[in-house]
C-alpha cells in the first residue's frame, strides 16, 4: 500500500507530459500517457515493486525534504512541520482504496517540480471520492 504513494511521488512528478506510473493499493500498475491510461497485470507490479521499495523510501524522504526546504528556507521549524504534514497525508492515502481515474486525475493536477504535493493529493482524492459516492 505504501508503494502507491511512493510511486506517485517518484514517477508522476517532474514533467506533466511524461509517462506517469501509479501502483494502486490492489497491486495494479497504471500507466498514464497524456490522456490515456493502461493497466498492467498485478504480477508485473508485484515483481517490480519488491525490488525498489527501499530506494523509493529514501527518494521519497529526499523529495519531501527538497519541497519543504524550497518553501521554508531557513525556518527549520516550518520545514519539519511541512515534512510531517506531507508524510501524514501519504500515510492516509496508503490506507485508502483509490479508483484509478481519481488517482490519475488528482496526481496530474497536483504535480509540480518537486513531484506530487501530498497534502493536496489527499484533499483532491477525498473530495473526488466523496463527490463520486454522492452521485
State yes or no: pLDDT of 134 exceeds 50: yes
- Best CA proximity match to 70, nearest among 61, 62, 79: 79
Contact in structure between 9 and 113 (CB atoms under 8 Å): no
Alpha helical stretches, state H, 1-135:
2-12, 42-72, 76-94, 100-109, 118-134
* Nine-digit cell string for 109: 493536477
Band of the pLDDT at 6, cuts 50, 70, 90? low
Task: Write the CA distances from 44 to 13, 30, 114, integer angstroms.
Answer: 22, 11, 27
Q: What is the pLDDT of residue 24?
A: 65
| Residue range 27-58, pLDDT digits in tens | 667 666 555 556 666 665 555 555 555 566 67
Amino acid at each position: 500500500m505504501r508503494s502507491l504513494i511512493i510511486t506517485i511521488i517518484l514517477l508522476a512528478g517532474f514533467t506533466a507530459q511524461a509517462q506517469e506510473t501509479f501502483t494502486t493499493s490492489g497491486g495494479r500498475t497504471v500507466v498514464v500517457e497524456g490522456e490515456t491510461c493502461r493497466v498492467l497485470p498485478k504480477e508485473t507490479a508485484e515483481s517490480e515493486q519488491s525490488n525498489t521499495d527501499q530506494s523509493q523510501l529514501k527518494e521519497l524522504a529526499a523529495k519531501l525534504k527538497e519541497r519543504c526546504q524550497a518553501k521554508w528556507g531557513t525556518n527549520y521549524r516550518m520545514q519539519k512541520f511541512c515534512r510531517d504534514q506531507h508524510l501524514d497525508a501519504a500515510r492516509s492515502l496508503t490506507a485508502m482504496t483509490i479508483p484509478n481515474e481519481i488517482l490519475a486525475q488528482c496526481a496530474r493536477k497536483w504535480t509540480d517540480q518537486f513531484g506530487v504535493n501530498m497534502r493536496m493529493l489527499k484533499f483532491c482524492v477525498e473530495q473526488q471520492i466523496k463527490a463520486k459516492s454522492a452521485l
